[in-house]
Amino acid sequence: MPTSIKVLLLVFGGVLLLAALLGSGFSIREISFPPMNPLLRTVTVLLGAGLMVTSVVLLATEGGTENPVAEPSSGPTATAPGPSPSTTPPPEPNPVPDPDSPPSDAPPTDEPGSDEAEALMRHIPKSIRSDCVPGTASYTEALTAYVDCRPDRVPSSASYFQFADAPSMDGWFQAVVDDHTFTGDSCDSYSDLNGQGSYSVDGTTTGKVVCFAGRDGRVHLMWTHEPLAVIVEAVADPADYDQLIRWWSVAGPNNSTEA
């Protein structure tokens, strides 16, 4: 209840009590107060006393029993930082070269993998070996070396990738297969583009072969050599696909290091 109303009740109660006291009648010189009806006087006393007592009690308890409840603050509050999930992605394995990306022009280096690259070089047919240099891939336990070849004829480029073992080679080759759509079971001619199959050397199944159109607009011929754990990828313009297939028959890699 507002304090002003409490004070008003106290004053009004006091007036009623004063009126009740004067109700017996008295006069001061020219001022006189007529006697009040006994019943009305009694009611006035009770009502005035009640109002005064009530207002006094309300005023006395205003700051005592009525403790205001603190309103929650609408402003920002500081909280202790808790653990949050890490936003750092898990480390990825060292990448192998993108089969659609052009080979590197870097010269031979003495970085790790150079010895393996030299060994791989000796499996490349002598007819194109002079056009090849060791690459500079981020070598891993799976990919141990690779060699880039840039003949001045078809193909426009060829890359030889040496893997630690056949399962590692097959895993990478399968990832390339899964990234493309193949509709045929051979790569014998351009009409068979987007095909996949296997090939044999001297009557023995040697590996798998796929052909597809790359994001670079050129045709890609890729094959595996299971005994050596090597993948080869050759690239040519679509108009040169027939020449690419003829070159493939002598592209290697060879089982002999001196072929």
Q: Spell out the domain ranges in the chain.
A: 3-61, 114-248
Q: What is the pLDDT of residue 255?
A: 78
Confidence of residue 46 (pLDDT cuts 50, 70, 90): confident
Q: What is the pLDDT of residue 225?
A: 96
Q: What is the mean pLDDT of residues 35-60?
A: 67
Cβ pair 134, 111 in contact under 8 A: no
Q: What is the pLDDT of residue 173?
A: 96
Q: What is the pLDDT of residue 169?
A: 96
Q: What is the mean pLDDT of residues 118-142?
A: 87
Which of the residue ranges 1-5, 108-112, 213-217 would you say has the lowest mean pLDDT? Answer: 108-112
* DSSP symbol at 194: S
Strand partners for 184: 195
Helix %, strand %, coil % of the chain (to 5): 35, 20, 45
Per-position DSSP letters for 51-94, written without gaps between them: HHHHHHHHHHHTTTT-PPPPPPP-S------------SPPPPPP
- Comparing 192 with 256, the larger pLDDT belongs to 192
CA pair distance 127, 148, nearest whole angstrom: 14
CA pair distance 259, 255, nearest whole angstrom: 8
Distances (CA, A) of 225 to 6, 147, 156, 189, 221: 103, 15, 21, 21, 13
Structure tokens at 158: 């060829």
- Comparing 80 with 256, the larger pLDDT belongs to 256
Q: What is the pLDDT of residue 86?
A: 29
pLDDT at 19 > cutoff 90: no
Taking Cα atoms as reference points, which of 220, 225, 200 lies closest to residue 210? 220
Q: What is the pLDDT of residue 253?
A: 92
Q: What is the 3-state secondary structure (H, E, C) of 149-167?
A: ECCCCCCCEEEEEEECCHH
Q: What is the mean pLDDT of the chain?
A: 74
Output b/e per residue, 109-125; b: 16+ Cβ within 10 A.
Answer: eeeebeebbeebbebbe
Q: What is the pLDDT of residue 109?
A: 40
| pTM recorded for the entire structure | 0.57
Sequence-separated (6 or more) residues with CB below 8 Å from residue 255: 123, 227, 228
Q: What is the pLDDT of residue 230?
A: 97
Which amino acid would we find at residue 65? T
pLDDT at 133 > cutoff 90: yes
pLDDT at 57 > cutoff 90: no
Confidence of residue 171 (pLDDT cuts 50, 70, 90): very high
Most confident segment among 45-59, 87-101, 216-230: 216-230
pLDDT tens track for 64-104: 544 444 443 333 333 233 222 222 233 333 344 454 554 44
